[in-house]
Amino acid sequence: MKYHVEARNVVKRFGPTVALNGASIAIAEGETHALVGRNGAGKSTLVSILTGLQPADEGEVLFAGEPAPALADRDAWRRRVACVYQKSTIIPALTVAENLFLNRQTDGGVIRWRALRARARELLDTYEVDVDVQALAGDLSVEQRQLVEIARALSFGARFIILDEPTARLDGPAIERLFARMRSLREQGVTMMYISHHLDEVYEICQSVTVFRDARHIVTRPVAGFSHDELVGAMTGEATAAYQARARTPGERVVLAGEGLSLAGRYREVDLAVRSGEVVGLAGSASSGKVGLAETLVGLRKPDAGTVTVNGVRVRPGDVPSALRAGLGFVPEDRHHEGFVPLLSVAENATIPVAGKLGRFGTVSPSRQRARAVQLIDDLDIKTEGPGQPVGDLSGGNAQKVVFARALVDDPSALVVINPTAGVDVKAKQALLGAVEDAVERGAGAVLVSDDLDDLRVCDRVLVMFHGRVVKDVPRGWTDHELVAVMEGIEQ
């Protein structure tokens, strides 16, 4: 078999983290080959190596049997491989024609705009993309922007395209049109690597599939004859020891509720209610809408429709202070950009929500702030030199504990946490999940959003989202296989 692209025994490390550990993939010429795996399996790292954005520490990459070009030779990489990312790289303020030939408008001298538009129309006609080349890219639909990106990628001469979660923001009819384009490209000899969390799409559009798990290659097989159960099993592996969640009986009082919540492009018609003493999980792929829903509950996003109530008080849509005043605590998805201020101390970061309660006449009492911080450090076992140490100097796990401290400092009655254990070690992970359960035992209700199935084991039930809707309410006691099957749209 003639392979268009090969990665052999690739190793990639980021400090102590091994992102790829002897991983391999071989994609036959002219096929559409799926790459699947749970979050953290190494898919994104492989993409960065196959596109020349990162060098492999060990191993090799081959295109049509020839070694990959030097990393500095960007033109050579563009002639071999192109990637259409989930997050659009189209510049909204430029026209379609300008986006198609960005930094390639002319070989030198003055730009000939009429000729540029003619080249753009010819390129789009070649790939049957019906878009006005003079239209502003910002006025295009998500589907149209994606097709423009595919055409731009092919314009460099690459015959290998990586499609990273291409259906994440498309509706059903648009997905079918994308698949029709992909089949047409395949007939023209284009080789594709398709990355998706939606396994039903793998069976519809791909001929072969490779599974990565824990930074390693697990299996490569033809899609035909590879059952759903076998594929999910390859992704999840042998079940690890279940997290020993604490036994509890939720109360009757609803402390956090959302009714009729919809936000275009993220989720629609969602209802949920979280009771005192209950942990409710939100699970799904990156395109499921789970993070957008959680961010709506805390006021980071304003819904197009629906209401959010905390402790029976309707909070102002898209207003974080309103949610916090009503009694909500929040651990954001990205602690580095949203969770703490690196140059401020542990005490300052942890007490931000209650700064107004730590002094009089608009001042903060240093002694009261320190006392509150010392208590939080002790409760969460934060490894620090003291309350005055800058959070930027702490390890990832301890910095995340400071984010938890800030969320818990005012004894919230409702708690929303997003990917709370991402990038922390096992011991810190246990402590953080324990902090969620501690808050619930004190009477709070919690929403826990996570890409890690082990995190979700503390939940009394898990709401699984798929393409913006809650498709199943799964009670405690699920297996990895059962939950992943629902998350990937195989079972409902």
Model confidence at 343: pLDDT above 60:
yes
Whether residues 216 and 259 fall in one domain: no
Q: Among 27, 285, 294, 47, which residue's Cα sits nearest to residue 167?
A: 285
* DSSP class of 95: B
Whether residues 232 and 354 fall in one domain: no
In a domain, 96, yes or no: no
Whether residues 158 and 208 fall in one domain: yes
Instruction: For residue 440, give the amino acid letter.
Output: V
Sheet containing strand 17-28, edge to edge, reads 17-28, 3-14, 58-63, 66-67
Q: Cα separation of 37 and 39, whole Å?
A: 7
Model confidence at 241: pLDDT above 50:
no
Whether residues 324 and 401 fall in one domain: yes
Whether residues 183 and 46 fall in one domain: yes
In a domain, 126, yes or no: no
Q: Poorest-confidence range of 35-49, 237-251, 341-355?
A: 237-251
DSSP track, 374-416 = HHHHHHHT---S-TTSBGGGS-HHHHHHHHHHHHHTT--SEEE
Indicate the pLDDT class of residue 356, thresholds 50, 70 and 90.
confident
Indicate the pLDDT class of residue 239, thresholds 50, 70 and 90.
very low
In a domain, 129, yes or no: no
pLDDT score at 154: 81
Task: Give, rounded to a whole angstrom, the gap between the first and last alpha carbons of the chain.
Answer: 38
Element (H, E) at 143: helix 142-155
- Torsion angle, CA of 392/398/400/403, rounded to 10 degrees? -80
In a domain, 9, yes or no: yes
Q: Is 188 exposed, middle or buried (0-12, 13-18, 19+ CB in 10 A)?
A: exposed
Residue that is last in its domain, among 202, 236, 270: 236
In a domain, 123, yes or no: no
Token readout for 185 is 């490209």
Q: What is the largest CA-CA distance in the chain?
A: 77
List pLDDT tens digits, range 169-210.
665 667 888 898 899 889 989 999 999 877 888 999 999 999
Residue that is last in its domain, among 205, 236, 267: 236
Residue that is last in its domain, among 236, 264, 288: 236
Overall average pLDDT of the 372-382 stretch: 91
pLDDT score at 160: 94
Whether residues 229 and 303 fall in one domain: no
Whether residues 212 and 346 fall in one domain: no
Q: Among 492, 337, 312, which residue's Cα sits nearest to residue 418?
A: 337
The residues near 2 (Cβ < 8 Å, ≥ 6 apart) are: 28, 29, 64
Whether residues 354 and 411 fall in one domain: yes
β-bridge partners, 8: 60
Whether residues 173 and 272 fall in one domain: no
Indicate the pLDDT class of residue 129, thresholds 50, 70 and 90.
confident
Model confidence at 426: pLDDT above 70:
no
Structurally, how many domains does the chain consist of? 2
For the question of whether the overall pTM of this predicted structure is more than 0.75, the answer is no
In a domain, 102, yes or no: no
Model confidence at 33: pLDDT above 50:
yes
Q: Poorest-confidence range of 92-96, 138-142, 311-315?
A: 138-142
Whether residues 336 and 438 fall in one domain: yes
pLDDT more than 70, % of the chain: 95
Whether residues 298 and 209 fall in one domain: no
Q: Cα separation of 319 and 185, whole Å?
A: 46
Is the distance from CB of 463 to CB of 298 less than 8 angstroms? no
Model confidence at 168: pLDDT above 70:
no
Q: Is 110 exposed, middle or buried (0-12, 13-18, 19+ CB in 10 A)?
A: exposed
In a domain, 261, yes or no: yes
In a domain, 243, yes or no: no
Q: Residue 186 sits in which domain range?
A: 3-90+140-236
Counting every residue written for the chain, the total comes to: 492
**C-alpha distances in angstroms, 85 versus 147, 196, 231?**
12, 11, 24
Q: Which CATH number belongs to the domain containing residue 175 in this structure? A: 3.40.50.300
Whether residues 227 and 286 fall in one domain: no
Is the distance from CB of 96 to CB of 133 less than 8 angstroms? yes
Token readout for 388 is 């005055």
